[in-house]
Structure 1
Amino acid sequence: MKHQLVITWITIITLSSCVQKSKSKTEVQNTKPVSYTTKVVVPELNIPSGMAFLPDASLLITEKTGELLLFKNKKTINIEAIPKVHWAGQGGLLDVAIHPNYKKNGWLYLIYISKTEKEKGSHTELMRAKIKNDSLVEKQVLYKTSTNKKIVQHFGSRITFDNDGNLYFSIGDPANKNSNAQDITRDGGKIYRINDDGTIPTDNPFVIVPNAKTAIYSYGHRNSQGLTLHPKTGALWSNEHGVNGGDEINIIESGKNYGWPIITYALTYKNTKISQITEKEGMEQPLYYWNPSIAPSGMTFVTSDKYPNWKNNILTGSLKRQHLERLVLKDNKVINREILFNDIGRVRNVIEGPDGYLYIAVEGLGILKIIEQTEKGL
């Protein structure tokens, strides 16, 4: 079966073809590779997108089609009274996160696409709520985009918290033409930062800029589907989709412009240039970019001792290439990449659980746990 494939080592790609401003050769690790496989722990899911472990080790899962599931004691429970979700194209119920102090306050956060019958387009909404008797209660919409999108793609929509309790979420740019990404008075193509109750931090970069969306933290993004914190520095890292190539990883800083669509390494699907330039003063270069595109999805840093050869590496899902990808870092540069579980399916997310194991969400399969070959009987 697909979910029992072991990892495959691939030819190393030199940084000069993938990473801007790096001419050094890619280093190959000397550690002996360990064979890993996967074990389905939550079966028969359609398009699992978001995952969040609760303090009791139960797992919240969003189905893009509009269901919030709780996997507990080997049973899957449908959480009732979730917000009405508009499932169309790339839109739907996209991510879930829990408050850092969930044990005390019980808040969980959902990001999803909404649309009323009277509206021609849709909005991105961020909500917080609590679970009581397997139902959502105390529901509060904390952010709703003002952009009424008729296009059903590039929603982005990941959520994470930093070490100070600030909440970050991504919203993609609705189109390649007539882009919103460079306009801080409009939603889309941005990463946002708010307080846990939806109020705006006073040190957000555009709070005193007239007409700006004050929740914006960074801009010039295309479609970010991965947000995670560096385990040592606490810095916010993001991945985002390019078009035909030009997928990126960026370290996100307050007020910075990440260039889309003014600078990009992507081409159109007809192999013509989107932009004539790849660098411009005042715009950030990606830490890493892919050519050809892999369509990166959820990502995480590996901190667990259960994967000694992978520690401090980045894992990111690939929708287009249908694998999990491991990126080895040195001094904030990618020096090696490896394809894991090739052709397993469209990997939408990857997280590290409280038990130290890694879990991946794969379309049409469910939630899979990464284990060593010797642990197959777990």
Structure 2
Amino acid sequence: MKQLHLILTFILLSFYSCAQQSESSVKAEDPTTVNYTTELVVPDISIPWGIAFLPDGSMLITEKAGELIHFKNGKKTLIEGVPEIYVRGQGGFMGIKLHPNYETNGWIYFAYASAEGEGEGGNTAIMRAKLNNNKLTDKEVLYKASPNSKRGQHFGARIEFDNEGYLYFSIGERGEGSANAQDLTRDCGKIYRLHDDGRIPKDNPFLNVPNAKTAIYTYGNRNPQGLIKNPYTGDIWSHEHGPKGGDEINIIKKGANYGWQIVSYGINYNGTSFTDITEKEGIEPPIFYWVPSIAPSGMAFVTSNKYPGWKGNLLVGSLKFAYLERLVLENEKVVKREKLIEKTGRVRDVVQGPDGYIYVAVEGKGIVKIVPKN
């Protein structure tokens, strides 16, 4: 008996030692908070929805109400020739992304709410165009979700490219829940994948599903307003709005179902429950979720050396609580959270500029730069 007691004691001490070692290793690698200040570099923009840097370091900024702003050498210029924007609720002029080979082909990609097509109201469209003498030219609509809807919510509208040059974009379920998100024959509540010219890739996952929208890459998405390539792995990451609780971060996998509205960590806004399931076979679980919801918008990985200890961290804007969240990752798991630029305003987008600094689109202000203190 005494020998058994000694063995059990040894096992428990070994387990405790391993747990302590694991905890210590997390703490040892845990970045310290960077001292920083903020600088308003582009003032007086009501709702700056998306930011893209041109090769010369100047900025293109989409303003939700329908303007495209070019900011260069301290001056704002309105770009002519923007598409006709359907502005309603959460919809307007939204995502923007440069082609990975922009310097050779000049293509810029936009996501916006459009009234074109079937039905009254509007829905998300994806366009590419070129910028010539402060005017958009060579405009091509690559995708237009249908049918239109007068609902004002959940347009999605982020854009990203992967390492192979495929174009990804998100469209929210427009407030229709699983009726859209779980139905492959209907647009909305999905993340889509195209070639950069709008062609459907031959290996898209639902090409052989009768009547399916063949541009669909994932489904069961509620309202993804973050879409970014992980520069360290090449994977596409997204985040999406939950209802009351249950905002998610997901790694996008071909053909995967992300569960809306079958599973969720959230509840209805009136406090009632629509499901008591948080996990289900065949549904891809999030790598992280927020309860309560922060209303995430915009997302960026930090690869810069400007901010000691932040390299490899994920930045996500909060619309609800008006701050930028820094997420420390270990093996694709969140091990620490920190609030940045609190009370600055509703954060709509965040990007790392070519100069290595972090730029944040803040509603009611404009573009704010995070400047580390030496």
TM-score above 0.5:
yes
8 A Cα contact 2:126 2:142, kept in partner: yes
Q: Which residue of structure 2 lines up, in the alignment, with residue 13 of structure 1?
A: none
Q: Which residue of structure 2 lines up, in the alignment, with residue 221 of structure 1?
A: 221
SS at match of 1:326: strand
Paired residues for 1:151-162 under 5 Å: 151-162=151-162
Q: Which residue of structure 2 lines up, in the alignment, with residue 246 of structure 1?
A: 246
Q: Which residue of structure 2 lines up, in the alignment, with residue 370 of structure 1?
A: 370
Which letter maps to 1:191? Answer: I
1:110 to 2:110 alignment? yes
Q: Which residue of structure 2 lines up, in the alignment, with residue 266 of structure 1?
A: 266
1:46 to 2:42 alignment? no
Whole-Å separation in 1 of the counterparts to 2:177 and 2:59 = 39
8 A Cα contact 2:39 2:368, kept in partner: yes
Which letter maps to 1:225? Answer: Q
Whole-Å separation in 2 of the counterparts to 1:184 and 1:30 = 42
Q: 1:30/1:115 Cα in 2 relative to 1: closer, same or farther (>3 Å)? A: closer
Deviation string, structure 1 residues 284-315 (Cα, Å, up to 9, x no partner): 11100000000000001100000121110100
- Which of these two proteins has the greater Rg computed from alpha carbons? 2
Q: Which residue of structure 2 lines up, in the alignment, with residue 7 of structure 1?
A: none
Q: Which residue of structure 1 lines up, in the alignment, with residue 335 of structure 2?
A: 335
Give 1:178 shift.
5.7
Give 1:128 shift.
0.5
8 A Cα contact 2:315 2:325, kept in partner: yes
Whole-Å separation in 2 of the counterparts to 1:220 and 1:192 = 12
SS at match of 2:103: helix
Q: Which residue of structure 2 lines up, in the alignment, with residue 71 of structure 1?
A: 71
Whole-Å separation in 2 of the counterparts to 1:31 and 1:360 = 21
8 A Cα contact 1:69 1:78, kept in partner: yes
Which letter maps to 2:104? Answer: K
Whole-Å separation in 2 of the counterparts to 1:46 and 1:347 = 12
Deviation string, structure 1 residues 171-222 (Cα, Å, up to 9, x no partner): 0011254630001111111000000100011111111211111110101000
8 A Cα contact 1:114 1:122, kept in partner: yes
Whole-Å separation in 1 of the counterparts to 2:208 and 2:33 = 52
Deviation string, structure 1 residues 115-170 (Cα, Å, up to 9, x no partner): 15995221211001111111111111000112221211011110011111111000
RMSD, matched Cα: 1.6
Q: Which residue of structure 2 lines up, in the alignment, with residue 144 of structure 1?
A: 144
Q: Which residue of structure 2 lines up, in the alignment, with residue 5 of structure 1?
A: none
Whole-Å separation in 2 of the counterparts to 1:25 and 1:157 = 39
Q: Which residue of structure 1 lines up, in the alignment, with residue 88 of structure 2?
A: 88
More divergent stretch after superposition (225-234 vs 172-181) = 172-181
Whole-Å separation in 1 of the counterparts to 2:104 and 2:112 = 25
SS at match of 1:308: coil
Which letter maps to 2:48? Answer: P
Q: Which runs of 5+ in 1 are unaligned?
A: 1-23
Which letter maps to 1:181? Answer: A
Q: 1:146/1:25 Cα in 2 relative to 1: closer, same or farther (>3 Å)? A: farther
Give 1:279 shift.
1.1
Give 1:276 shift.
2.2
How many residues are aligned here?
351
SS at match of 1:180: helix
Deviation string, structure 1 residues 75-120 (Cα, Å, up to 9, x no partner): 1110001100011100000011111111111110111001159952
More divergent stretch after superposition (146-155 vs 92-101) = 146-155
Whole-Å separation in 1 of the counterparts to 2:23 and 2:260 = 28
Q: Which residue of structure 2 lines up, in the alignment, with residue 18 of structure 1?
A: none
Which letter maps to 1:282? Answer: G
Q: Which residue of structure 1 lines up, in the alignment, with residue 165 of structure 2?
A: 165
Q: 1:44/1:219 Cα in 2 relative to 1: closer, same or farther (>3 Å)? A: same
SS at match of 2:371: strand
Whole-Å separation in 1 of the counterparts to 2:181 and 2:152 = 17
Paired residues for 1:284-295 under 5 Å: 284-295=284-295
Q: Which residue of structure 2 lines up, in the alignment, with residue 132 of structure 1?
A: 132
Q: Which residue of structure 2 lines up, in the alignment, with residue 323 of structure 1?
A: 323
Give 1:53 shift.
0.6
1:280 to 2:304 alignment? no
- Between Structure 1 and Structure 2, which shows a larger proportion of helix residues? 2
Which letter maps to 1:57? Answer: G
Q: Which residue of structure 1 lines up, in the alignment, with residue 194 of structure 2?
A: 194
Whole-Å separation in 1 of the counterparts to 2:99 and 2:89 = 29
Whole-Å separation in 2 of the counterparts to 1:73 and 1:98 = 20
Q: Which residue of structure 1 lines up, in the alignment, with residue 212 of structure 2?
A: 212
Give 1:34 shift.
2.2
Whole-Å separation in 1 of the counterparts to 2:94 and 2:250 = 21
Give 1:352 shift.
0.5
Q: Which runs of 5+ in 2 are unaligned?
A: 1-21
Whole-Å separation in 2 of the counterparts to 1:58 and 1:317 = 22
8 A Cα contact 2:117 2:148, kept in partner: no
Percent identity at matched positions?
Answer: 58
Whole-Å separation in 2 of the counterparts to 1:256 and 1:223 = 16
8 A Cα contact 1:176 1:261, kept in partner: no
Whole-Å separation in 1 of the counterparts to 2:246 and 2:117 = 36
More divergent stretch after superposition (30-39 vs 289-298) = 30-39
Whole-Å separation in 2 of the counterparts to 1:366 and 1:182 = 37
